[in-house]
Chain A
Amino acid sequence: MNKSASGRVAIVGVGESDIGKVPHMTGLGLNAQAAKRALDDAGLKVSDIDGVLTAYSFTEPYFMLGSVLCEYLGLKPRYNASVVVGGGSPAVMLKHATEAILAGSAETILVCAGENRATGQSRDSAVSALLAVGHPYFEQPYGGSIPGFYAMIAQRHMHVYGTTRDHLAHIAVNTRRHALLHPNAHMKTPITLQDVLSAKPIADPLGMLDCCLISDAGGAFIVTSAERAKDLKSKPAYLLGIGEHHTHEHIMCAPSLTEFGAKESGRRAYEMAGVKPSDIDVAQLYDCFSIVPLIELEELGFCEPGEGGAFFADGRASIGGKLPINTHGGMLSHAHAGAAGGLFGIVEGVRQLRGGLGPRQVEGAELALVHNEGGILSSHCTLILGNQPN
């Protein structure tokens, strides 16, 4: 977006539903719980919401999910849509919300996503529903899987840059360590490097602990103008920069297996915010598989291509390190339930800027970067939040 949009809107409320196995709640119920918590966090009333954005649901695949969610919540907004760019949806929804608010289409927008993926359907049907990401005619007949597609990206990175199996394992261990500091994380037990290396193999080189969780979870945040944000209960997190980039959907059509759209989406976000990678204090990078945050780290300019593995292995990505990554535990250890997975990265970015997170707090965090991606590193959106509007 244009530089003139920098700092003009803010996230003023964030909420997470109960996370893990929540069999007594529906997907819509999890969304509602997260929305209510976000509204309370902002100190707003239901009647203040005049816009709603949501994504999609594999477990409750309603046509017109945006309208269905509004109906469920008893909302009659003047702005509403379902946005489907896979895991990239939450960040893209924040961009759409920003555009709507700056254009005067709405003043206060609820962004919401989540599913009951752990208990709403069997694990096997979750996998077969997700297989729809593979091209129905030219990929699915070969029995590829989502982990398999990401595994090919990992394999290529190892081949070109010498990234190792241990590097990937360090990412899973680091992320789990962070999740243990989060009171609402799905995973509550520590893991070692050896645990990751000896976990059940899924698609070489990826094992079970390199793959994201399957959780019941909903997440929500509330966006309004910077003007309006000043009078609200919680400390605002101002949107300083945001950019997207889309290069393909199916991996067979990806322009490259080592260069993706995060570089371009990041460039746009940095430019709008007027900051550079070294200014960022904390980053929440989409981590559906261990290889993914490594690639994003490199593309977003935090290290050289091929250096990502060492960045995680030597502790630079840990809380207390040079650039703490996925301080909530990411999708590998905090939660993954459809578009809620990336949304929790935004929630955590906001919380880090507010401060007061105890042992999980990144001291003096003023700028947080969040990256969401959807498909097979197909659709990218990068955003930069700050605790000041400029």
Chain B
Amino acid sequence: MTKELPIPVTNADSAAYWQAAKNNKLMLRRCNACGEVHFMPRYLCPTCWSEDLEWFEARGKGKVHSFSIIRRASSAAYATRVPYVVALIDLDEGPRMMSNIVGPDALDIAIGDAVTLEFEERGDAKLPQFARARG
């Protein structure tokens, strides 16, 4: 029996993030007080605690900070995908986020490789993913 892959869950902190993802946009939070950009949307800026934050769209480019090829899936839902790549991506805008590396050459990934954003459909939501940059 195949289980469904997890569908992104929306809450008050992340509603705008997942709504934008449905339109193929990766949104980040910038603090208008100190200028820091952070991933994982929150109520306030984790650097200076200002509540004056804005959303902006990321360029969708980054580099692989580290990765692992998962050989034993974390759950039954992922068993069909093994082997797959889980990675931490350093976005050009600064913050780090988790992603899979997708695409036919995903398993050839290396630390420092340039990657570009794409989106994967999950139920009626879309999940930001990264693939190795071309050219």
Chain A residues with CB under 8 Å of chain B are 124, 127-128, 131, 134-145, 147-149, 151-153, 155-156, 159, 200-206, 250-253, 257
A202 to B71, CA, bound (A): 5
The chain B residue with its CB closest to the CB of A130 is B74
CB within 8 A of A143: which of B40, B78, B88, B111?
B78
Minimal beta-carbon separation of A208 from chain B (angstroms): 9
CB within 8 A of A148: which of B70, B76, B111?
B70
Chain B residues with CB under 8 Å of chain A are 5-9, 11, 14, 39-40, 65-78, 81, 84, 86-88, 96-100, 111, 122, 127
For B8, what are the chain A residues with a Cβ–Cβ distance below 8 Å?
A: 137, 141
A145 touches B98 (CB 8 A): no
Minimal beta-carbon separation of A290 from chain B (angstroms): 14
A251 touches B68 (CB 8 A): no
A202 touches B88 (CB 8 A): no
B68 touches A203 (CB 8 A): yes
5 nearest CB pairs, A to B: A151-B68, A145-B74, A143-B78, A201-B71, A152-B66
B69 touches A204 (CB 8 A): yes
B70 touches A143 (CB 8 A): yes
CB within 8 A of B75: which of A131, A135, A152, A204?
A131
A128 touches B39 (CB 8 A): no
Question: If A152-B88, A252-B97 touch, does A137 touch B14 (CB 8 Å cutoff)?
Answer: yes
B86 touches A142 (CB 8 A): yes
Q: A124-B76, A144-B98, A200-B72 are in contact. List 6 more A-B contacts (CB 8 A).
A: A138-B98, A139-B98, A141-B7, A142-B100, A203-B72, A253-B40
B88 touches A203 (CB 8 A): no
Question: If A141-B5, A141-B122, A155-B111 touch, does A135 touch B40 (CB 8 Å cutoff)?
Answer: yes
A148 touches B65 (CB 8 A): no
For A137, what are the chain B residues with a Cβ–Cβ distance below 8 Å?
A: 8-9, 11, 14
Question: If A141-B5, A143-B78 touch, does A252 touch B86 (CB 8 Å cutoff)?
Answer: no
Minimal beta-carbon separation of A314 from chain B (angstroms): 27
A131 to B76, CA, bound (A): 12
Question: If A148-B74, A148-B86 touch, does A252 touch B39 (CB 8 Å cutoff)?
Answer: yes
For A151, what are the chain B residues with a Cβ–Cβ distance below 8 Å?
A: 68
The chain B residue with its CB closest to the CB of A128 is B75
The chain B residue with its CB closest to the CB of A153 is B66
CB within 8 A of B66: which of A127, A139, A257?
A257
A150 to B11, CA, bound (A): 28
Minimal beta-carbon separation of B5 from chain A (angstroms): 7
Question: If A141-B6, A142-B86, A156-B65 touch, does A204 touch B40 (CB 8 Å cutoff)?
Answer: no
Question: If A131-B75, A137-B14, A159-B111 touch, does A145 touch B6 (CB 8 Å cutoff)?
Answer: no
For A131, what are the chain B residues with a Cβ–Cβ distance below 8 Å?
A: 74-75
A131 to B86, CA, bound (A): 14
For B40, what are the chain A residues with a Cβ–Cβ distance below 8 Å?
A: 135, 138, 250, 252-253
For A206, what are the chain B residues with a Cβ–Cβ distance below 8 Å?
A: 68
CB within 8 A of A252: which of B67, B74, B98?
B98
A77 to B100, CA, bound (A): 49
B86 touches A152 (CB 8 A): yes
For A138, what are the chain B residues with a Cβ–Cβ distance below 8 Å?
A: 14, 39-40, 97-98
B88 touches A251 (CB 8 A): yes
Minimal beta-carbon separation of B37 from chain A (angstroms): 14
For B7, what are the chain A residues with a Cβ–Cβ distance below 8 Å?
A: 141
For A135, what are the chain B residues with a Cβ–Cβ distance below 8 Å?
A: 40, 98
The chain A residue with its CB closest to the CB of B79 is A143
A149 to B8, CA, bound (A): 20
